């Protein structure tokens, strides 16, 4: 048989002869084939047995071909073949192309009604005559048996599956375009996730057009610094003044004058963008802090900015010096290591004396020395420097003042760094409680640093040495040659002031060791910037009291002192005494609800692990309260992390100089 289902292998084999008069399985039970009587041709002529067998074999092969099967052949001698599993359809072998016969005009290939149609057209081949000749023109085109379509269906199905497998199953992600499906209600593809939003850009620093008259004061300023500026810095310092209202909330109180300095490289342009420096109220004035910072920052910062120091209220030109000397000395020397009603009443009277005298001297403006008023001063300075947005660095409660400035005037903020701000929501006694714990942590860091140095003057356990010294001074204060006394309270005050500046820790350790040996002079000298003439104590007390609103009764303070003496054995009694010093202080008007600085550029907030002015958590809470804040933690010690360590310095300089927005949550090692 010649046809599309005959293989080349079958064509090469000799055709087996059929058995004369034998009926196959399809003929059994029927008696007579459609083509005529068994053993006769299509016309009914009797033929010989050989011809009849040949014709029957050909007819059977044609039926098998239409049904998708090959005719059976006798097995050849040889080794037994392995049977193919019946449940697996064999793959189709390549077949020889069919020689089509011309069909009758007007006729189409027939297909069974209701049957599945393969994705390609299969023409019904012309059927030879029973005698083996070609189909006569106009003759009958043989119709395949009814089961022929169902027999071919497994092969067509296998072909479709194989085609789908080869076309659709590939290794790796698909790069093909999506397939369009018509007439189907399929769920929409998931939306493409939006690209990450880039961080907001920092505003470029603006050239200043200052309306403040400045004059050169380099030598007079640098000589006041505790540590000299490196000679290769070649700094130039210009001094000026800024007049501001005595109290922004009480315009009738008049005005005060604050000191302003500009620190730059010698010969730098006068219009170089300003970088405000606002220090903590417990340290030197901000004008001096800016000059000190000029000798410590990276030189690249001075190529981009002019440092501008603005004195806080109560410091510098506006030094607050109003407390009676006797009352001030009593508050510095006292502590609440032992609590009694008589002692509490005596110390409360000294606190009232300070408040009454200061309020009299200041004409009722005692409440103007607060961080919120400093925020108003910053906005006035920005306008005086002639810039729309001003960059700034604040330390301690100076950072708190800049945070208030950012909340009230976010459109005035440039590139802002808040270094060690206190907790923005805490009031007394929780705020002082947090500071007492931070001071204990700073003392531990101080002790570790001392013992890490060969020949630590405080021995193997600096904390125990300090505790023994305080007990000794509590029993018997040390007298200096000039008549001054060193008490345990004064020693803790000097210790707190020294812990904020790690550069001075070696001198602090030596002064404590000298006091333990009976020499009080080094510690008394360290106290002079606080308690001496034009010292910082009055401003420090006024700012800390005015920045809180809750006032505690003496009995409540006594209970707190007893708890803190156990929880904070070195600093608990002194911090409890500070609560008593603020008890008679007037409570200012309630500040309006603070915003979250929405609309300000990204703000960097730095927290230090062992800052005696505030716990690390306070700085983190400040960052949480600002809409655009980024938090940077430093595992070091001291008040103000910048520019003490390379890690912090790199992050801050990248923000200030290069405009790189830092990632929040960065942690710098000690």
> In the structure encoding, which two tokens stand for residue 257, read together?
């004058």
Answer positive or negative: Cα dihedral of 439, 444, 449, 450.
positive
C-alpha–C-alpha distance, residues 441 and 436, integer Å: 9
Q: Is the pLDDT of residue 15 over 80?
A: no
Helix (H) or strand (E) holding 618: helix 616-624
Length of the chain, please? 670
Enter the DSSP assignment of 319. B
Distances (CA, A) of 425 to 274, 361, 439, 624: 31, 31, 20, 11
What's the half-sphere exposure (Cβ side, CA atoms, 13 Å) at 620? 10
Q: What is the pLDDT of residue 493?
A: 96
Beta bridge partners of 309: 261, 277
pLDDT value at 87 more than 50:
no
The per-residue pLDDT for 177 is 34
Segment holding 392, helix H or strand E: strand 390-395
- Determine the straight-line distance between the first and last CA of the chain, rounded to whole angstroms: 94
Q: Report the pLDDT value the prediction gives residue 60, as an integer from 0 to 100.
A: 60
Which of the pair, 370 or 75, is modelled with greater confidence?
370
Place of tokens 């009080």: 520
What span, in angstroms and rounded, lies between the C-alpha atoms of 462 and 458? Answer: 5
Give the per-residue pLDDT at 568.
Answer: 97
Q: Is the distance from CB of 469 to CB of 509 less than 8 angstroms?
A: no
Taking a C-beta distance cutoff of 8 angstroms, is the pair 203, 389 a contact? yes
Pairing relationship of beta strands 274-278 and 306-310 according to DSSP bridges: parallel
Instruction: Using the predicted structure, report yes or no on whether residue 170 has a pLDDT greater than 90.
Output: no
Neighbouring residues of 469: CB distance < 8 A, sequence distance ≥ 6: 491, 512, 515, 516
Phi, psi of 644 (to 5 degrees): -70, -35
Q: Residue 277 pLDDT more than 90? A: yes
Looking at residue 61, what is its pLDDT? Answer: 54
Average pLDDT, the chain: 79
More confident residue, 241 or 22: 241
Contact between residue 207 and residue 272 where contact means Cβ atoms under 8 Å apart: yes
Residue 63: other Cβ atoms inside 10 A: 19
CA-CA distance, 492 to 578, in Å (whole number)?
12
Residue 7's pLDDT band (cuts 50, 70, 90): very low
Query: Mean pLDDT highest for which of 44-58, 152-166, 627-641?
Result: 627-641
DSSP 382: H
Type and span of the H or E element at 558: helix 554-567
Res 471 pLDDT > 90:
yes
User: Which pLDDT band holds residue 533 (cuts at 50, 70, 90)?
Assistant: confident
Residue 278, token pair as written in the block? 């606002």
Highest mean pLDDT among 50-54, 280-284, 347-351, 612-616: 347-351
pLDDT band at 272 (very low <50, low <70, confident <90, very high): very high
- What's the topology of domain 215-320+371-427+593-668? Rossmann fold (3.40.50)
pTM for the complete prediction?
0.71
Q: Left (φ > 0), alpha (ψ -120 to 50) or beta: where does 132 sit?
A: left
| Tally of CB atoms within 10 A around 634 | 29
**Other CB atoms within 10 Å distance of the CB of residue 525:** 14
Give the CA diameter of the chain: 156
* pLDDT value at residue 56: 57
Q: Return the pLDDT at 158.
A: 36
CA torsion through residues 86, 92, 96, 102, sign:
positive
Write the pLDDT tens digit of every residue in 544-572. 999 999 999 999 999 999 999 999 999 99
Instruction: Classify residue 289 as left (phi > 0), alpha (psi -120 to 50) or beta.
Output: alpha
For the chain, how are helix, strand and coil distributed in percent, rounded to 5?
A: 40, 10, 50
As a whole number of angstroms, the distance between CA 380 and CA 502 comes to 33
High-pLDDT (> 70) share of the chain, %: 69
Instruction: Return the pLDDT at 140.
Output: 40
Looking at residue 174, what is its pLDDT?
A: 31
How large is the angle between the packed helices 341-361 and 554-567, nearest 10 degrees? 110
**How big is the chain by its Cα radius of gyration, in Å?**
49
Statement: residue 62 has pLDDT above 90: no
pLDDT at 30: 42
Q: CA–CA separation, 656 vs 606, rounded Å? A: 14
For residues 374 and 392, what is the distance between their CA atoms, to the nearest angstrom? Answer: 13
Tell me how far CA of residue 199 lies from CA of 391, 392, 411, 607, 659, in angstroms: 18, 20, 18, 22, 11
Count of other CB atoms within 10 angstroms of residue 542: 27
Cα–Cα distance, 383 to 325 (Å, whole number):
39
Domain map (residue ranges) of the chain: 215-320+371-427+593-668, 430-548+550-582
Q: Which residue has the higher pLDDT, 418 or 535?
A: 418
Closest to 495 measured CA to CA, from 452, 556, 447: 447
Which range in 37-46, 113-122, 167-176, 247-256 is most confidently predicted, on average pLDDT?
A: 247-256
Q: Contact, 418 vs 386, CB < 8 A?
A: no
Are the beta carbons of 289 and 280 closer than 8 angstroms? no
Alpha carbons 570 and 474: distance in angstroms, whole number = 12
Residue range 316-344: average pLDDT? 92
Angstrom CA distances, 248 to 245, 550, 555, 595, stand at 6, 22, 35, 19
Q: What is the pLDDT of residue 364?
A: 87
Angle (CA) 621 619 303, round 5°: 135
CA-based nearest residue to 243, from 109, 340, 149, 381: 381
Q: Give 479-524 pLDDT, tens digit per residue.
A: 999 999 999 999 999 999 999 999 999 999 999 999 999 999 999 9
What is the structure's pLDDT at 57? 56
At residue 152, φ and ψ (nearest 5 deg) are -80, -15
The conformation of residue 604, written as its DSSP 8-state character, comes to: E
Comparing 355 with 75, which gets the higher pLDDT? Answer: 355
Could you count the other beta carbons within 10 Å of the beta carbon of residue 129? 17
What confidence tier does 100 reach under pLDDT thresholds 50, 70, 90?
very low
Per-residue pLDDT averaged across 177-192, rounded? 38
* Confidence grade of residue 200 (pLDDT, cut at 50, 70, 90): low
DSSP string, 96-151: PPP-PPPPPTT------TT----SS--PPPPPPPTTSPPPPTT-PPPPPPTHHHHH
pLDDT at 186 over 80: no
Quick one: pLDDT at residue 249? 87
Contacts 24+ apart (CB under 8 A), 131-137: 131/41, 131/42, 131/55, 132/54, 132/55, 132/58, 134/101, 135/101, 137/104
For residues 353 and 349, give the distance between their C-alpha atoms in angstroms, rounded to a whole number.
6
Q: How far is CA 655 from CA 54, 259, 479, in A?
A: 99, 27, 51
Task: Identify whether 455 is preceded by a cis peptide bond (ω within 30 of 0).
Answer: no
Contact criterion met (CB below 8 Å) for 207 and 271: yes
232: confidence class by pLDDT, cuts 50, 70, 90: confident
Q: Please tell me the distance from the alpha carbon of residue 210 to that of residue 205, in angstroms, as a whole number.
A: 15
Asked if residue 657 lies in contact with residue 297, where contact means CB atoms within 8 angstroms, the answer is no
């Amino acid at each position: 048989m010649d046809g599309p289902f005959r293989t080349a292998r079958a064509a090469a084999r000799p055709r087996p002869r059929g058995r004369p008069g034998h009926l196959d399985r399809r003929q059994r039970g029927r008696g007579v084939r459609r083509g005529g009587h068994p053993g006769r041709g299509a016309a009914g002529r009797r033929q010989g047995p050989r011809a009849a067998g040949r014709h029957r074999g050909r007819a059977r092969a044609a039926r098998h071909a239409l049904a998708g099967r090959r005719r059976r052949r006798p097995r050849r001698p040889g080794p037994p073949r392995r049977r193919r599993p019946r449940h697996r359809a064999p793959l189709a072998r390549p077949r020889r192309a069919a020689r089509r016969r011309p069909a009758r005009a007007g006729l189409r290939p027939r297909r069974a009604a209701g049957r599945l149609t393969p994705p390609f057209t299969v023409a019904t081949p012309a059927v030879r005559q029973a005698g083996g000749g070609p189909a006569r023109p106009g003759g009958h085109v043989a119709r395949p048996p009814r089961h022929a379509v169902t027999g071919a269906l497994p092969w067509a199905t296998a072909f479709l599956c194989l085609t789908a497998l080869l076309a659709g199953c590939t290794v790796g992600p698909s790069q093909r375009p999506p397939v369009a499906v018509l007439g189907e209600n399929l769920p929409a593809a998931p939306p493409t996730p939006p690209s990450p939003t880039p961080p907001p850009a920092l505003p470029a620093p603006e050239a200043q057009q200052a309306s403040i008259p400045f004059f050169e004061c380099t030598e007079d300023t640098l000589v006041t610094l505790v540590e000299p500026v490196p000679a290769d810095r070649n700094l130039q310092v210009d001094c000026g003044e800024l007049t501001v209202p005595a109290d922004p909330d009480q315009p009738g109180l008049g005005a005060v004058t604050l000191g302003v300095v500009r620190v730059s490289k010698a010969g730098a342009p006068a219009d170089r963008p300003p970088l405000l420096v606002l220090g903590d109220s417990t340290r030197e004035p901000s004008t001096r802090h800016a000059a000190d910072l000029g000798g410590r920052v990276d030189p690249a910062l001075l190529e981009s900015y002019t440092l501008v120091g603005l004195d806080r209220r109560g410091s510098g030109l506006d030094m607050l010096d109003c407390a009676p000397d006797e009352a001030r000395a009593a508050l510095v020397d006292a502590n609440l290591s032992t609590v009694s009603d008589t002692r509490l009443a005596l110390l409360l009277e000294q606190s009232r004396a300070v408040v009454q005298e200061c309020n009299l001297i200041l004409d009722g403006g005692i409440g103007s020395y607060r961080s919120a008023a400093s925020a108003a001063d910053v906005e006035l300075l920005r306008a005086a420097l002639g810039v729309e947005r001003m960059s700034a660095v604040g330390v301690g409660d100076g950072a708190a003042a800049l945070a208030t400035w950012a909340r009230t005037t976010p459109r005035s903020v440039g590139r802002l760094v808040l270094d060690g701000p206190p907790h923005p929501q805490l009031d007394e006694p929780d705020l002082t409680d947090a500071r007492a714990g931070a001071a204990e942590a700073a003392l531990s860091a101080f002790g570790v640093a001392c013992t890490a140095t060969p020949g630590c003057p405080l021995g193997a356990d600096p904390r125990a040495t300090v505790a023994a010294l305080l007990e000794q001074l509590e029993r018997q204060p040390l007298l200096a040659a000039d008549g001054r006394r060193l008490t345990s309270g004064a020693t803790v005050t000097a210790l707190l002031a020294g812990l904020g500046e790690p550069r001075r820790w070696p001198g602090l350790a030596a002064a404590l060791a000298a006091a333990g040996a009976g020499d009080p002079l080094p510690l008394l000298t360290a106290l002079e910037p606080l308690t001496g003439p034009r010292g910082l104590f009055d401003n420090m007390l006024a700012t800390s009291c005015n920045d809180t609103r809750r006032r505690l009764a003496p009995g409540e303070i006594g209970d707190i002192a007893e708890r803190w003496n156990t929880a904070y054995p070195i600093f608990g009694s002194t911090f409890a005494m500070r609560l008593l010093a603020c008890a008679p202080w007037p409570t200012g008007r309630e500040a309006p609800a603070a915003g979250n600085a929405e609309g300000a550029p990204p703000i960097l907030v730095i927290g230090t692990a062992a800052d005696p002015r505030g716990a690390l958590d306070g700085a983190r809470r400040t960052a949480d309260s600002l809409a655009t804040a980024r938090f940077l933690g430093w595992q070091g010690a001291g008040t103000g992390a910048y520019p003490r360590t390379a890690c912090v310095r790199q992050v801050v300089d990248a923000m200030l100089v290069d405009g790189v927005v830092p990632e929040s949550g960065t942690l710098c090692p000690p």
